[in-house]
A and B are shown apart, each in its own frame.
Chain A
Amino acid sequence: MNRIVRIVLPAALLALAATASAQAPAKGKLTDGVVKIGVLTDMTGYYADLAGPGSVVAARMAVEDFGGKVLGQPIVVVSADHQLKADVASNTARRWFDQEQVDAIVDLVSSSTAGAVMPIAAEKKRITLLSGPGTTAFTGDKCTGYNVHWTYNNWALANGTGREVVKQGGESWYFVTADYIFGKSLEEDTSRVVKSAGGKVLGAARHPSPGTTDFSSYLLQAQSSGAKIIGLANAGADTVNCIRQANEFGVTPKQSLAGLLVFITDVHSLGLDAAKGLYLTTSFYWDLNDETRKWSKRFLEKHGKMPTMVQAGVYSAVSHYLRAIRAAGTDDADAVMKGMKATPVNDFFAKNGRIGPDGLHRHDMYLVRVKAPKDSKAPWDYYEIVKTIPAAEAFPTVEAQACPLARK
């Protein structure tokens, strides 16, 4: 008897709690009295340095600079760790949308999590502002009407770095690729650019990610391929380890590395000696002009590190989103999306940036080269700007995208 009570009682309580929460009234978006922005990112994992807590800092700065209120209602920033897992990301998104009145989710670093959350947001008519992930298809065949891909995409990286490296004589390529949607997409985009620029692709070695720490066997394959350029179609700690181990195993300088997605935090942890000479494409660098320097210094004071393009993109995206709410006079997702797409983006991050019907934010990108230690005059003085790639060249045109929304 006693035992039955012990088992049945908690079960009954649980069931009661479940029905109670199911019966809680669903609040309308307009009447919930708050604009809530959820930063869903990788707080402690492989991408925590390039997004993570820094993205939360950037979102809070954007809200602070906006005045903390929109349409007389408070703006709240919440954050959560998706641990790079698609299921954790989608569960958090559902909870945020269904129970916690979150209006927009930003960052979503790692394409697997972004790919899981975007359809949920679209179904529930809430907005996703992607800053961390790179997969081109998010504004291609996977596009939704409630998404903006803000900071960069793989097409832009491939186009910027791939084209320039081939032009400099690196015509044969071998890829070391992270074996998931992001890496494959980056490899595919870069291969296309390399081939169209007259180069050739000799092969690719795909490594599990995250979780690979020893890249020696992949690098040896790249070495024995005889390719002039080893393209690193991975990110974060994977890229850092690849570059470090390529030095260790004497792959460089005989063959050159092309980092397809390298963040300033990666360069910082590698050190200039290991990273010097590396070409990379970025949408943001702190030392571009007075505006970027001013904002980045503030960020540095709060966060202790210079912002990556992902973190700067979070600030820019959140600010644009809030301005669109003010202009539309509502936080209704359809109206806000319309406003965001109709208004050019002008801030320290983007000059005259435009969001297309496919949801891609087109803005200038920069091809940069990592400085040698002797040329670096100050802390974080890492990049030399090789050229500015204008928005029209940096991103695929709306017509070239496989997004059904772009066809209207």
Chain B
Amino acid sequence: MQAIFGQLLVGLINGSFYALLSLGLAIIFGLLGVVNFAHGALYMVGAFAAWMLLTMFGIGYFPALLLAPAIVGVIGVVLERLLLRRLYGLDPLYGLLLTFGLTLIAEGLFHQAYGNSGQSYPVPELLRGGFQLGFMYLPLYRAWVVGVSLVVCAASWFVIEKTKLGAYLRAGTENPKLLQAFGVNVPVMFTITYGFGVALAAFAGVMAAPVYGVTPLMGSSVIMVVFAVVVIGGMGSIAGSIFTGIGVGLVEGLTRYLYPEASAVVVFVLMAIVLLVRPAGLFGRER
């Protein structure tokens, strides 16, 4: 019983990362209709940005938690303005190919510069130590990851579902032309949305740096699972991606307890089942 609690808790920690990443993907897909394959790469760039801020400028973890997403957000805005913009209205495959290409370029550059073994990023002084929960020892930093992710996810959900800005966003998802006819500057909204989506990825990257280290391929190892999460949750569903992200983490944790060898596959099995039974995803709507 102790073991199962431990695995579920570890699952919850991983699930928090999945939720943060799939949330950004879902927002971008929902509004722009772009399958942002570069999400994993930008998560990696976020982690590297934090590492560079620390090693080159001596800027610590907490400022980096804001600065790195801001930097990556700006990169995202530039990418959207220069490249992605040209592909709206075309088949989503084009966006996927473009962002996939960007991923390869980004990974290649960092790979060339820093090699594969990665850089280590220390856990901030304030968040060292941990709690003895009886069934396991929970490091403080991991608890912080879960807490902060939940807060960020909840805040994003609140903004999108309950505020006027969010209402515009949702209207843009439904019918961008009509929204523009009402005098809303939809292209700018698209740019901001993409910037925000990738900033979330970078935020997750900074959070991940002290746990997983900073490596050029950290994005590709997580992006597949995150895509599966988005598919299970229903492409473009905000709340769906958050719940599914955490849920998938827990299912993984449970599998590690029951049948460890399957833990890497279980997400995709789940995805296949969901696609068969509910092709639009658990929280998605048929269009």
**Interface set of A (CB-CB < 8 Å, partner B):** 44-46, 48-49, 179, 205-206, 208, 211, 213-214, 216-218, 220-221, 223-224, 236-237, 241, 248-251, 269
Contacting pair A217 B211 (CB below 8 A): no
Cβ of B170 < 8 Å from any Cβ of A? no
Contact code string B20-62 (vs A, CB < 8 Å = 1, else 0): 0000000000000000000000000000000000000000000
Among candidates B115, B116, B136, B221, residue contacting A220 with C-beta atoms closer than 8 Å: B136
Contacting pair A217 B10 (CB below 8 A): yes
Cβ of B163 < 8 Å from any Cβ of A? no
Contacting pair A211 B139 (CB below 8 A): no
Chain A residue at minimal CB-CB distance from B1: A224
Query: CB-CB < 8 A to A224: which residues of B?
Result: 2-3, 6
Chain A residue at minimal CB-CB distance from B17: A214
Name the residue among B215, B253, B256 with the largest chain A CB count within 10 angstroms: B256
A247 to chain B, nearest CB (A): 9
B278 to chain A, nearest CB (A): 29
A380 to chain B, nearest CB (A): 18
Cβ of B158 < 8 Å from any Cβ of A? no
Cβ of B147 < 8 Å from any Cβ of A? no
Instruction: Compute how far the CA of A112 lies from the CA of B80 in the bound complex, rounded to whole angstroms.
Output: 42
A115 to chain B, nearest CB (A): 21
Contacting pair B6 A214 (CB below 8 A): no
Among candidates A44, A205, A213, residue contacting B116 with C-beta atoms closer than 8 Å: A44
Contacting pair B212 A48 (CB below 8 A): no
Query: CB-CB < 8 A to A205: which residues of B?
Result: 260
Cβ of B14 < 8 Å from any Cβ of A? yes
Contacting pair A249 B120 (CB below 8 A): no
Cβ of B92 < 8 Å from any Cβ of A? no
B5 to chain A, nearest CB (A): 9
Query: CB-CB < 8 A to B117: which residues of A?
Result: 45-46, 48-49, 236-237, 269
Instruction: Compute how far the CA of A63 lies from the CA of B161 in the bound complex, rounded to whole angstroms.
Output: 69
Contacting pair B3 A213 (CB below 8 A): no
B22 to chain A, nearest CB (A): 18
Interface size on B, residues (CB 8 A): 34
A-B contact pairs, 18 of them (CB 8 A): A45-B116, A48-B115, A48-B116, A206-B260, A211-B221, A213-B218, A214-B212, A217-B6, A217-B10, A220-B10, A220-B136, A223-B6, A224-B2, A224-B6, A237-B117, A248-B139, A249-B137, A269-B120
Instruction: Compute how far the CA of A217 lies from the CA of B5 in the bound complex, rounded to whole angstroms.
Output: 11
Among candidates A45, A217, A249, residue contacting B7 with C-beta atoms closer than 8 Å: A217
Contacting pair B116 A249 (CB below 8 A): no
Contacting pair B3 A206 (CB below 8 A): no
Instruction: Compute how far the CA of A216 lies from the CA of B263 in the bound complex, rounded to whole angstroms.
Output: 13
**Interface set of B (CB-CB < 8 Å, partner A):** 2-3, 6-7, 10-11, 13-14, 111, 115-118, 120, 123, 130, 132, 136-137, 139, 141-142, 211-213, 215, 218, 221, 253, 256, 260-261, 263-264
B45 to chain A, nearest CB (A): 17
Q: Is the interface of B mostly helix, strand, loop or mixed?
A: helix
B251 to chain A, nearest CB (A): 13
Instruction: Compute how far the CA of A220 lies from the CA of B8 in the bound complex, rounded to whole angstroms.
Output: 11
Among candidates B7, B137, B212, residue contacting A213 with C-beta atoms closer than 8 Å: B212
Query: CB-CB < 8 A to A206: which residues of B?
Result: 260-261
Contacting pair A250 B256 (CB below 8 A): no
Given contacts A208-B264, A211-B221, contact A44 B3 (CB under 8 A): no
Contacting pair B213 A216 (CB below 8 A): no
Contacting pair B3 A221 (CB below 8 A): yes
Contacting pair A249 B139 (CB below 8 A): yes
A328 to chain B, nearest CB (A): 39
Contacting pair B7 A220 (CB below 8 A): yes
Query: CB-CB < 8 A to B11: which residues of A?
Result: 217
B139 to chain A, nearest CB (A): 5
Query: CB-CB < 8 A to B10: which residues of A?
Result: 214, 216-217, 220
Contacting pair B213 A213 (CB below 8 A): yes
Query: CB-CB < 8 A to B263: which residues of A?
Result: 217
Given contacts A44-B115, A237-B117, A249-B136, contact A214 B3 (CB under 8 A): no
Contacting pair B115 A213 (CB below 8 A): no
Chain A residue at minimal CB-CB distance from B138: A249
Contacting pair A217 B212 (CB below 8 A): no
Among candidates A220, A237, A248, A249, residue contacting B3 with C-beta atoms closer than 8 Å: A220
B277 to chain A, nearest CB (A): 28
Instruction: Compute how far the CA of A49 lies from the CA of B117 in the bound complex, rounded to whole angstroms.
Output: 8
Contacting pair B111 A44 (CB below 8 A): yes
Name the residue among A48, A214, A218, A251 with the largest chain B CB count within 10 angstroms: A214
Query: CB-CB < 8 A to A221: which residues of B?
Result: 3, 7, 256, 260
